Structure 1
Amino acid sequence: MGRRLRRAIPLLLLAAAGTGQAGVLEVLDREVPALLETLDVPGAALVVVRGREVVALRGYGTVDPRAGTPVDPARHVFRIGSVSKPLTATTVLRVAGAHGLGLHDDLRDLLAPLPVRPAPAEPLTLHHLLTQGAGFNERLFGQHVTRAGDLRSLDEYLRRHLPPRFIEPGAVIAYNDHHTVLAGWVAERLAGARFEALAEQELLGPLGMAATTFRQTDLPPVVADGMTRSWRRSGDGWRPYPRDFVITTPAAGAWSSAADMAKYLAALLDCRGPLPEPALCAVQLARQAGNHPRLPGRAYGFAEARHGGFRVLFKDGQASGFNARLLLVPELGLGVFVVHNRNILGAFGGFEPAARFNRSVTGLVLDALVPDAGAAPTPPPEPIAGAAERARRYAGDYRNVVAARHTWERLIGMFDDLRVRATPRGVDPGWGEYVEIEPGLLQWHEGGESVIAFDGGAGRAPAHVFIGGGAYERVPWYTASWFTPWYVLATAAWLAGWLALVWRGRPAGGRWLTALPALCLLGFLLGLGALLAGVDVQSLFHGPPPALLVLLALPLVAAAALAVRCVALAMGWPRLAWRGRLAALLDLAVVVAFLAWLNYWQLLGYRLG
């Protein structure tokens, strides 16, 4: 009787929300077409599941804005990007269980064939990989290829391109495709089969997900027949992306339909088996890790959030111009999947308005079906003793840990940072004050559930600030976004002035030898700006563009010319007047400082990963 009552509670809570199935359909049919038009999205498919019941299976807009073909949520197949990761987690958990590998067993011996560097001092486990806590750097670009003949196995890819680690396992949650790729590789080693086949054997086949696959070639007929294309704006019209192929399939390579994802949602939400098994289902959906107990954490394959007082699990995905979101409210037995076919990546690391579409659609469903069971309002917090002193240690510049540190991709994270300022009661990270209520834990000044946290011990400046489910690491002030534009502009102005002096015949040294470092660096800055402004970011996932390879040669030429010029200046130093010596030293200092700055951003040399 107790079990039946527990299963009835979610239905009672949903009934309390006041919006039934018909109400949800009415909201979606009214609001989603308007969102398509407002956010400039050609088409979308979505499904809403409650327990094992499909509440809504809908297609909106078109899969082909030129032909006007309507979206069919049962037939049309979309790439789901990182929404592949929950499917991978389920597959890996089943394979590991079948082969006796525990979630907390040390993988260092099993990973010995791969270039894991630096070697971890602490055990590295499947738990770390599935919760994004293994501490590897990211490498986004180069995971896709444009020709099927260029595909490589996971083993070959990881032997050549596994990024280095930047922190010990379990120290911080830092989202990274390669954590999931490594988990898929572990499953391959255990089972002696390719991951694509394991997913079909352990998950897709038993659930009847015939329109879902991790395969990049030799596609199942249902997938090949229903495959769609993604689109981007080109002038006043639409331009399709050519189909590409994902090497890192466990992280972002799956194709699926909304109808198929309903089967996966129902299996997770019902959690009575036969697949996934109840114990495995409970393990996958439970909170497994977090940067702080008071902050959202991670389940296996999912991130945590809260809505209306209820725990929400979600996963967003972006790949090849497609964008998807998978969301569950386990306590209510509610699940949503939505996918659309519009590129969201803009210039300079920004996003198109279409990036808001999936979040807006899932918000409509949550607002309609999730009752407000939030906690009672809390009074404004009072600071603890010593808050002002600790706040001065917390202050500084921090950058999102979800970034590469070993290749030119580090540049992508340049503006994904924040500046934390000390206040008398706590800190202000840029949008308002947080008051310290425990050492290292700060609450929004008006009260409520919003908190941020800092690591570090007594008397030490923290290395990280944790906000929501994310982490930001402390970085030098001269790499912060508030400093970078001014520094680049000042350096460019100095280099231009240097070239003007050379043109007028007043260099402290040989004319062209003096001009070459400035000419190369100024050309690099202008060329890089033009490249970042004009490149389709989606194309970078296939690897660096040829123009970048040319541009990266310019700082190397500048460094070589600078070395030669230093020798020439040393030989002619006695003949230079003090003004000439001062001008030469200043010019050298500017170039050396800028080369060091480029080196920090991995732009001095061919660091392509």
Structure 2
Amino acid sequence: MAKRIGTTTPGAAVAIVSGDRPVLTKGYGAADVDADVPVRADETVFRVGSVGKLATYTAVMQGVERGVLDLDADVNSYLGDSAVTVPDTYDEPVTLRYLGTHTAGFESTLDPDIVADPAAVDSLGTVLSEQQRSRICPPGELVGYSNYGAALAGHVVAQAHETTFEEYVQSELFGPLGMTHSTFAQPIPDDQPGNLATPHVRDDGAFTPADDVYINMRPAGSLSATATDMASFISAHLGNGAVGDVRILDAETAETMHSRHHVRHPAVTNWRYGFHEYGNPDANCIAHSGATINFTSYLLLAPDHDVGVFVAYNSNPSDGPKAVVDEIVAEYDLQPEPATPTPTSRPGSPERAETVAGEYSLSSLPQSGPLQVADRLAHLTVEPATDGRLQTRTLEGDTRKWVETEPYVYEEVGGQDVLAFELTDGDVDVLNMSSEPTGVYQPVPFQERQLVTGAVLGTAVSGFGLSLVGWAGQSAWRRLTQNVTQDTQRMENEA
């Protein structure tokens, strides 16, 4: 952390847990650079973004355990008294299992209804009703990360228990676990213990405090918590639902939550319930990232080692908390070191490389509207290389080499990543990438391929509103967001 404080982020909070006890909970750097307030692990509250979805889906599993919810029931069956209704676009209904694996098929818009004015925070039912997402894909078919879907899951929990989502998690999760500084409430109540870290932006090499924002789709990303509180949450999951004498899930329910619920492809990372797999799928590490406009976080569990890690920043750099987690995983051998890929002995590698070459778009990103710039920035170009190998390129200039280890499955040279293509009648349907569990890549039609020029970016950004929470997969998008955040906040305030 020493090399990152003051350069990557002004402040950070870290929790490392072994079994049912934290071995480290520590604050680093400044909670507010102007006030020179230090980060304290048990007092400084960070917005953890989509890491909070893990609490939301834990609450779902509590309902399943009690028999008031069913992972495979139509969610409309729980919405009778609500203004929210999921349209019957397809024969297959949307279920809680699909919501917990981001396979419900909702159109992506990224924005979980972020607002700059706390007076604009509305009831969850009203937000979900007014911000209804279209169903663009049959459920269970593709992973497409959805803040709307996570918020809907939280609303179902509230409806089934005849309370608000915030009150439910406070009573059934945070209270029992002693997470006294944690809340999903927006804005954070004045009497809430602890002090919220100030968000920061980087300005001419220095960090500058920024205005806070508020998240209307609260189950998707409004959780605020300390490192100490997150250590308690980690301990409960490492303990199969229990820490000490406190149990929030039966062991069987926790094991169900931690098991696979959706397989994108056997060779890549897949989805548990609420958690996605991390790194080498055989290592049994599960994780979730989080981001708000100017906060970032990452939580990882390594159940086979009985270890959990949480890192949070009060900034949103390209080199975010996951980089710290990656170093800890490598240092303590929480997954196998990358092996040298062994090329497949099956003939036809050069021909297969030509078949999969092209430009690809990530399913978790918007395909229309002003926020489609995120999709353009994240396009992946796949090119044939020598001996049937592949090379991939991003707009940022990230170039990587891949070796085909079995037909249409490619392992990264010098890394843990894997590409796995799925084809029908010789044409690519999807490209699965281990390091991008939040979606799948789909081929971009030739006539729609384009380089992102300054003009394209300018057009998109000119109509930009406050947007991103809970999707921390693309560093290009984060940097773009940082560049426009102050301007968009000013535009919203003026409006």
Counterparts of 1:371 and 1:420, CA distance in 2: 30
| Root mean square deviation of aligned Cα | 3.2
Equivalent residue number for residue 398 of structure 1: 360
In the TM superposition, residue 250 of structure 1 has moved relative to its aligned partner by 0.4
- Asked if the contact 1:45/1:258 (under 8 Å) is kept, the reply is yes
Question: Which of 176, 182, 188 pairs up with 2:146?
Answer: 176
Runs of 5+ consecutive residues of structure 1 not aligned to the other structure: 1-31, 345-353, 490-523, 550-609
Give the conservation status (yes or no) of the 8 Å contact 2:50–2:291: yes
Q: Percent identity?
A: 25
Measure, in 1, the Cα distance between the counterparts of 2:409 and 2:481: 41
Letter in 2 for 1:455: E
| Contact 1:143 1:542 (C-alpha < 8 Å) held by counterparts | no
Residue in structure 2 matched with residue 271 of structure 1 by the alignment: 240
Question: Is residue 120–residue 168 contact of structure 1 (8 Å, CA) maintained in 2?
Answer: yes
2:45: which partner in 1? Answer: 77
1:462 alignment partner AA: V
Larger helix fraction of residues: 1
- The 1-side partners of 2:256 and 2:412 are apart by 36
Pairs within 5 Å for 1:92-103: 92-103=60-71
- Whether 1:139 and 2:109 are equivalent positions in the alignment is yes
1:507-545 CA-partner distances (Å, limit 9, x unpaired): xxxxxxxxxxxxxxxxx9866677888984446887985
Matching residue of 2:383: 421
Q: Note the C-alpha offset of 1:422.
A: 4.5
Q: For residues 342-400 of structure 1, what are the alpha-carbon distances to aligned partners after superposition, in whole Å with 9 as ceiling and x for unaligned?
A: 2x2xxxxxxxxx33141232233223333664587663322x35555554443322111
1:365 equivalent to 2:334? Answer no
Pairing 1:465–2:431 present: yes
Q: Name 2:471's counterpart in structure 1.
A: none
Deviation at 1:414, TM superposition (A): 0.9
Q: Where does residue 282 of structure 1 map in the other structure? A: 255
CA distance in 2, matches of 1:139, 1:45: 30
TM-score when normalising by structure 1: 0.69
Q: Which amino acid is the alignment partner of residue 119 of structure 2?
A: G
Partner secondary structure for residue 169 of structure 2 = helix
Match of 1:152?
122
- Among candidates 439, 447, 452, match of residue 419 of structure 2: 452
What pairs with 1:104-143 in structure 2 (closer than 5 Å)? Answer: 104-110=72-78, 114=84, 116-117=86-87, 119-141=89-111, 143=113
Residues 395 and 125 (structure 1), Cα distance of their counterparts in 2 relative to 1, 3 Å cut: same
Report the Cα distance in structure 2 between the residues aligned to 1:529 and 1:254, rounded to whole angstroms: 28
Matching residue of 2:27: 59
Residues 435/111 of structure 1: CA separation in 2 closer, same or farther (3 Å cut): farther
Q: Contact between 2:257 and 2:273, CA under 8 Å: does it hold in 1? A: yes
Paired position in structure 2 for 1:316: 289
Q: 1:535 to 1:435 in 2, by over 3 A?
A: closer
Matching of residue 197 in structure 1 with residue 167 in structure 2: yes
Relative to structure 1, is the Cα distance of residues 310 and 202 closer, same or farther in structure 2, using a 3 angstrom cutoff?
Answer: same
1:23 corresponding residue in structure 2? none
- State the partner residue of 1:252: 221
Where does 1:205-604 land on structure 2 (aligned, <5 Å)?
Answer: 205-217=175-187, 219=189, 221-223=191-193, 225-235=194-204, 238-271=207-240, 273=242, 274-306=247-279, 310-342=283-315, 344=316, 354-370=317-333, 373=336, 379-382=342-345, 384-422=346-384, 425=388, 427-430=390-393, 431-435=400-404, 437-438=406-407, 441-444=408-411, 450-457=417-424, 459-468=425-434, 469=437, 470-482=439-451, 484-485=452-453, 536-538=483-485
Per residue, is there more strand in 1 or in 2?
Answer: 2
Q: Decide whether the 8 Å contact of 2:142 with 2:440 is kept in 1.
A: yes
Distance change >3 Å, CA 106–CA 265, structure 1 → 2: same
Q: Point out where structure 2 has 5 or more consecutive residues left out of the alignment.
A: 394-399, 465-479
Residues 120 and 541 of structure 1, relative CA distance in 2, 3 Å threshold: farther
Q: Which amino acid aligns with 1:46?
A: V
Shift of 1:340: 1.3
Q: 2: distance between equivalents of 1:280 and 1:100?
A: 14
User: Which is greater in Rg?
Assistant: 1
Structure 2 CA distance for partners of 1:56 and 1:376, relative to 1, 3 Å: same
1:526–1:398 distance in 2 versus 1, CA, 3 Å: closer
Q: Distance in 2 between matches of 1:233 and 1:374?
A: 34
How far, CA to CA, are the matches of 1:37 and 1:542 in structure 2? Answer: 25
Q: How does 1:11-22 map to 2 (within 5 A)?
A: none
* Amino acid aligned to 2:146: N
Q: Deviations for 1:538-564, whole angstroms, at most 9, x for unmatched residues?
A: 4688798599x9xxxxxxxxxxxxxxx
Structure-2 change in CA distance of 1:541 and 1:211 (3 Å): farther
Provide the secondary structure at the position in 2 that maps to 1:152: coil
Deviations 1:399-449 (A, max 9, x none): 1111113432112211211222356736543433442623xx323386996
Deviates more, 1:300-309 or 1:55-64: 300-309
Q: Distance in 2 between matches of 1:338 and 1:117?
A: 38
Q: Distance in 1 between matches of 2:273 and 2:388?
A: 37
Aligned amino acid, residue 295 of structure 2: F
Q: CA deviation at 1:77?
A: 0.8
User: Counterpart of 1:168 in 2: which secondary structure?
Assistant: coil
Rounded to whole Å, the distance in 2 between the matches of 1:303 and 1:63 is: 30
Read off the aligned partner of 1:465 and give its amino acid letter: L
CA displacement 1:567-603 (0-9 Å, x = unmatched): xxxxxxxxxxxxxxxxxxxxxxxxxxxxxxxxxxxxx
Aligned to 1:578: none
Ranges of 4+ aligned residues in structure 1 off by more than 6 Å: 445-449, 524-527, 529-535, 540-544
- The alpha-carbon deviation at position 170 of structure 1 amounts to 0.9
Q: CA deviation at 1:131?
A: 0.8
SS of residue matched to 1:306: coil
Distance in 2, matches of 1:296 and 1:462, equals 19
Shift of 1:158: 1.4
| Greater RCO, 1 or 2 (C-alpha within 8 Å, sep 6+) | 2
Q: Is 1:34 paired with 2:6?
A: no
Q: 1:43 to 1:306 in 2, by over 3 A?
A: same
Match of 2:476 in 1: none
